[in-house]
A and B are shown apart, each in its own frame.
Chain A
Amino acid sequence: MSRILYNNRLAENIYEIGVEGSFEGSMGQFYMVRAWDQYPVLSRPLSIHDLEEGKIAFLYRICGEGTKIISRKKAGDEISLQGPYGNGFPTAQGRIALVGGGLGTAPLRFAAKTLCELNPEKLDIYLGYAEEDINSNRFSKYANSMKIDIGGYVTDMIDPLDYDTIFACGPEPMMQALTMKAKGTGAKVFISMEKRMACGIGACLVCTCRTKNGNRKTCKDGPVFAGEDVFPYEFKQS
């Protein structure tokens, strides 16, 4: 068990939680988070939002019973983190763009921090929110240029020709649109998928993602996939 340092409400139903401890992980990986003993039965997969010496942070939205319980925890309370799991984003250089939609900004903050340390030719950040800006201030220090959209399509703001590598996380239609837009431009798009998970380690097959190469485990082979491998093979959850 680890100790919660803070659990701040950023917007309606959206929180950032910080946990004390020396955690490992690379950009795009996630932890299975549990703030209760037995029920609900499943832990919650949350991607690493920030990681530094002695501290890890996660961004989450209250979507159900588990995240509701997590949101009620206070500084000093205990929480269990298992991980890090998943493949994470690949190391990239050259001209890089990060494209985040809403809670999809969760893995991108640590990606921005990590990439910034690699001194890329440029690192541009595009953030889209449905209703209000929840966390762009966390990104500004890493960006050569930053564009924010509220209520529209974040993908309209980006020209993939300007980039070698694009990391994206957000709603599936957003990631699909970006993947299609980048087709033939030379920009390689990597997306971070979100799926309901049970074991988190690749054993139970409830988080299967359909890809060009057949079924893949989102928890173990992902959550990061090449966009062109997933779309249009993955079926949108309706």
Chain B
Amino acid sequence: MSSSKVDFGKLGFKNPVVMASGTFGFGKEYGEIYDISKLGGISTKGITLEKRAGNKGIRVWETPSGMMNSVGLENPGVEGFLEEEAAFLSELDTRVIVNVSGSRMEDYSEAVKRIENTSFDIVELNISCPNLKSGGMAFGTNADSAYEIVKEIRKNTQKMLMVKLSPNVGDIAEIASACVSAGADAISLINTIQAMAVDIYRRKIIFDNTYAGLSGPAVRPIALRMVHQVAKAVNVPIMGMGGITSGEDAISFIMAGASCVQIGTANFMDLRAGTRIVEEIEAFMDRENVKSLSEIRGIL
């Protein structure tokens, strides 16, 4: 069996399969179902400085080949994370990525400062959440504001700084380049695509927050295109995501330039998707005589 271990900047990953923020909680629940230390990594539920209750009303709605969510960053806050979740995660033999979000630049900075002394290797800066009334995605839809926030956060952390990009932009390569100029060590993409649903009989919008984020296989071709565009534009490692449900899907993102991939909605389709995808990637490598994923990364 081939080894799918990869380098992600200065860090080694045992395999390129990372669980995407918001679909995996803080790992505990899936840990009761399978050995999550077999994963390449886990990106935590998005943490904000203060605890948040999230959005009201319906939070999930299915679409053809996908789903929309409007959770709105319900999370225990950075202190709650440190007190209740961090210990379990630090015991795992896998890379832990702390996903940080917020509405104001000061809140992002303060949250990042408070996790600086943890053992976790990577901060994933979420400037792309479509489900907040203010902030969130607003930082990531303009190159100047993306540059400003990444520059500010860069001052507050020695950890690997990965910026998670929104697909709800005109030129994603421009935003990625701005983040790298401001000091980002890596880029992850894509967050969900802003979307909407209507109950035509009640004549109402499904979501209290009007719009929600679309994910799942429905978005995969768009995500793949954007990963390809960003990979051509920047020279930092990329975590690609968007509707990946199989090892074959993951390989396509790696060929498009991703070093690692994140798995989100697929976790709901199959709770054991993570380790299955690792196996499928390694089976592909065996079949195609690929000794290392670096041989095929960015070949397109």
- Min distance, Cβ B35 to any Cβ of chain A, angstroms: 16
Chain A residues contacting B59 (CB-CB under 8 Å) are 196, 205-208
Chain B residues contacting A235 (CB-CB under 8 Å) are 56-57
Interface secondary structure of A, over-half rule = loop
A41 near B61 (CB under 8 angstroms)?
A: no
* Beta-carbon contacts under 8 Å, A22-39 to B: 38-39
B29 near A202 (CB under 8 angstroms)?
A: yes
Within 8 Å of chain B (Cβ to Cβ): is A199? yes
Closest-by-CB residue of A relative to B19 is A203
Using an 8 Å CB-CB cutoff, how does the interface string of B236-280 with A read, 1 for contact, 0 for none? 000000000100000000000000000001011101000000000
8 nearest interchain CB pairs? A203-B25, A206-B60, A206-B59, A201-B29, A203-B29, A198-B268, A202-B29, A196-B60
* Residues A204 and B268 in contact in the complex (CB < 8 Å), given A41-B216, A199-B29: yes
Interface residues of A (CB under 8 A from B): 38-43, 64-65, 82, 196-199, 201-208, 210, 214-215, 220, 235, 237-238
A38 near B269 (CB under 8 angstroms)?
A: yes
A215 near B60 (CB under 8 angstroms)?
A: no
Bound-state CA distance A198–B62 (Å) is 10
Within 8 Å of chain A (Cβ to Cβ): is B24? yes
- Min distance, Cβ A58 to any Cβ of chain B, angstroms: 19
Closest-by-CB residue of A relative to B33 is A201
A42 near B268 (CB under 8 angstroms)?
A: yes
Bound-state CA distance A215–B53 (Å) is 7
Within 8 Å of chain A (Cβ to Cβ): is B65? yes
* Residues A196 and B25 in contact in the complex (CB < 8 Å), given A42-B268, A205-B54: no
Chain A residues contacting B24 (CB-CB under 8 Å) are 203
**With A199-B29, A204-B22, A205-B22 given, can you name 18 additional A-B contacts, CB distance below 8 Å?**
A39-B65, A42-B62, A43-B268, A65-B62, A197-B60, A198-B69, A202-B25, A203-B23, A203-B24, A203-B25, A204-B268, A205-B54, A205-B71, A208-B74, A215-B53, A215-B54, A220-B29, A237-B57
B71 near A206 (CB under 8 angstroms)?
A: yes
